[in-house]
Amino acid sequence: MLSNHNLGLDLMRATEAAALAAARWAGRGQKETGDGAAVGAMREVLSHVRIDGTIVIGEGEKDEAPMLANGEKVGNGDGPAMDIAVDPVDGTRLLAWGMRNSIALLAGAEGGSMYNPKECFYMEKLAVGADAADVIDLEAPIGENIRNVAAAKGKTVDQITVGVLNRDRHQDLIAAIREAGAATRLFTDGDVAAAVMAAHPDMPRLDMMAGIGGSPEGVVTACAMKALGGRILARLWPTSDEERQRTLDAGHDLDKVLDTNDLVTSDHTLFVATGITPGDLVEGVTYLPDGGARTHSIVMRSASGTIRYVDAYHHLDKVEEYQRRHEVAGIDWK
């Protein structure tokens, strides 16, 4: 079991560092460089956190990343065994284009409790908050789900908004949502933030999140759902015959609907996000006239059901000195 000490605040330092490192690259069209800066900064901070951590959901095979890859050990080894899921920049294209909603993400759970979908990069997903957690069914038509969610939330169908990634593969889904009488909110990248907003009681902009997105993001979302009392249902969705066979060879059932508890079995989870660019879930990094910067983070802890919002000031001269001392930066902070 994770200790009563709120490790989420320690892990938040890692997402703050990633956000500060990446934000300088916003709108510069260099998503790999911005992501690389965030990876290095997050990894350095994680090395000092008092955990015996293993990256289960990392930059991984799809990103061809040399650091924070699946299986890498993180933390100083002096603390609880933890599974760690990271996405130093969720929304690398958003960062490169200078668009909204690029965030630094990290989730943690007791060691051995996170589902590892590394053989299959995508999954079909449906996520809602606590008030509709018992009425969704991934195998039912989206219109039926919308009607059930509306009834559970005490709304009419035309008051329901569904978040969907703006992808060609979702044309039929979007049409079905609108045909059912609900509205859509399309987003370019980052379905973790959309799922969290759909489940968050103080964020009424979304009622559901639906569609096909990254499998690693599904596991991260499950950690947030444990803290919010929400629910995510998912099913693996291979994109090629080769990926399908690899997934089957790994022992995965492609027909199985994965529930929140399948994606993370522990009831002790942490979810942390820090904004990089301005966003709906958290605000982005703000650079100030005195040379400092402000970050905005959200920290969730399932054991206590606590959701914290942290507005932090950073003296960038000290950040620069820290990064130079630990050889993290790789960017010009002047």
Each residue's pLDDT tens digit, 100-128 = 999 999 999 999 999 998 889 999 999 99
For the cut 90, the answer to whether the pLDDT of residue 299 exceeds it is: yes
Query: How much is the pLDDT for 322?
Result: 46
Query: How much is the pLDDT for 65?
Result: 54
- Cα distances from 90 to residues 15, 194, 196, 267, 274, in angstroms, run 11, 12, 14, 24, 10
Query: How much is the pLDDT for 318?
Result: 57
Q: Looking at residues 93-97, what average pLDDT do you find? A: 95
Tell me the β-bridge partners of 105: 87, 273
Annotated binding site for substrate: 90-92, 122, 167-169, 189-191, 214
Question: Rounded to whole angstroms, how far apart are CA atoms 255 and 237?
Answer: 9
| Bigger pLDDT: 66 vs 112 | 112
Query: How much is the pLDDT for 236?
Result: 97
Query: How much is the pLDDT for 122?
Result: 95
Question: Rounded to whole angstroms, how far apart are CA atoms 217 and 213?
Answer: 7
Question: Rounded to whole angstroms, how far apart are CA atoms 215 and 254?
Answer: 13
CATH 3.30.540.10-classified regions of the chain:
7-112+269-326
Tokens of 291: 């040379």
For the cut 50, the answer to whether the pLDDT of residue 64 exceeds it is: yes
- Among residues of the chain, what percentage have pLDDT more than 90? 80
User: Do strands 208-214 and 122-128 pair parallel, antiparallel, or not at all (unpaired)?
Assistant: antiparallel
Q: Looking at residues 315-329, what average pLDDT do you find? A: 51
Beta-carbon count within 10 A of 44 CB? 21
User: Do strands 81-90 and 52-57 pair parallel, antiparallel, or not at all (unpaired)?
Assistant: parallel
Q: Looking at residues 234-246, what average pLDDT do you find? A: 96
Q: Give the CATH number of domain 7-112+269-326; options: 3.40.605.10, 3.30.470.20, 3.30.540.10, 3.90.1150.10.
A: 3.30.540.10
Q: Looking at residues 297-319, what average pLDDT do you find? A: 87
Tell me the per-residue pLDDT of 181-223, one tens digit each, with 9 for 90 and over.
Answer: 999 999 998 889 999 999 998 887 899 999 999 999 999 999 9
Question: Rounded to whole angstroms, how far apart are CA atoms 295 and 315?
Answer: 11
Tell me the per-residue pLDDT of 124-152, one tens digit each, with 9 for 90 and over.
Answer: 999 999 999 999 999 999 999 999 999 99
For the cut 80, the answer to whether the pLDDT of residue 73 exceeds it is: yes
- CA dihedral over 133, 138, 139, 144, signed as positive or negative: positive
Question: Do 300 and 253 contact (CB within 8 A), yes or no?
Answer: no
State the architecture of 122-263 in CATH terms.
3-Layer(aba) Sandwich (3.40)
Burial (CB count <10 Å: 0-12, 13-18, 19+), residue 92: buried
Query: How much is the pLDDT for 315?
Result: 82
Tokens of 192: 């973790």
CATH 3.40.190.90-classified regions of the chain:
122-263
Question: Of 207, 202, 155, which Cα lies nearest the Cα of 185?
Answer: 207
Vertex 233 angle, CA 69 and 192, to 5°: 50
For the cut 90, the answer to whether the pLDDT of residue 68 exceeds it is: no
For the cut 70, the answer to whether the pLDDT of residue 78 exceeds it is: yes
Annotated binding site for Mn(2+): 35, 59, 87, 90, 217
Annotated binding site: 35, 59, 87, 90-92, 122, 167-169, 189-191, 214, 217
Tell me the β-bridge partners of 293: 287, 314
For the cut 60, the answer to whether the pLDDT of residue 3 exceeds it is: no
Tell me the per-residue pLDDT of 27-51, one tens digit each, with 9 for 90 and over.
Answer: 999 989 999 999 999 999 999 999 9
Tell me the β-bridge partners of 186: 164
For the cut 50, the answer to whether the pLDDT of residue 332 exceeds it is: no
Average pLDDT, rounded, for the chain: 90
For the cut 90, the answer to whether the pLDDT of residue 283 exceeds it is: yes
- Among residues of the chain, what percentage have pLDDT more than 70? 91
Query: Residue 262, SS3?
Result: helix
Say which residue the tokens 């060609």 belong to.
168
Query: How much is the pLDDT for 321?
Result: 47
Query: How much is the pLDDT for 69?
Result: 87
Query: How much is the pLDDT for 124?
Result: 98
pLDDT band, very low/low/confident/very high, at 331 (cuts 50, 70, 90): very low
